[in-house]
Amino acid sequence: MTPDLEQLERITSEHLDVLDDSDLVEAGALADELARRWAAVAKELGRETQRRMEMADATLAIGTEHKAVLVRTPGVYQWDVERVRELMQPYFGEKLLGQIITEVPHVCPPTEYRVDTTALKSTAKKLGQSVLLETCYTRDPGPAKVRYEEVA
Q: Whole-angstrom Cα distance, residue 50 to residue 42?
A: 12
pLDDT at 73 over 70: yes
Name the more confident of 109 and 73: 73
Looking at the fold, whether 74 and 34 belong to one and the same domain comes out as: no
Q: Are residues 30 and 76 in the same domain?
A: no
Identify whether residues 64 and 48 lie together within a single domain.
no
Q: In terms of residue numbers, what domain contains 10?
A: 1-58
Residue 152: pLDDT over 80: no
Q: Distance between CA 69 and CA 151 in Å, rounded?
A: 11
The residues that bridge with 79 in the sheet, in sequence order, are: 137
Amino acid (1-letter code) at residue 64: T
Cα angle at 128 between 125 and 133, to 5 degrees? 65
The pTM for the full model equals 0.52
Whole-number average pLDDT of the chain: 86
- Residue 141 preceded by cis peptide, ω within 30: no
Would strands 77-79 and 137-139 be described as parallel, antiparallel, or unpaired?
antiparallel
Q: Are residues 45 and 105 in the same domain?
A: no
16 and 90: one domain? no
Q: Is 71 helix (H, G, I), strand (E, B) or coil?
A: strand
Q: What is the pLDDT of residue 20?
A: 81
32/42 same-domain check: yes
Distance CA 115, CA 97 (A): 10
Tell me the pLDDT tens digit for each residue of 7-66: 767 766 666 777 788 888 888 888 899 899 999 999 999 899 888 888 888 888 888 788
Q: Are 61 and 52 in contact (CB under 8 A)?
A: yes
| Number of domains the chain is built from | 2
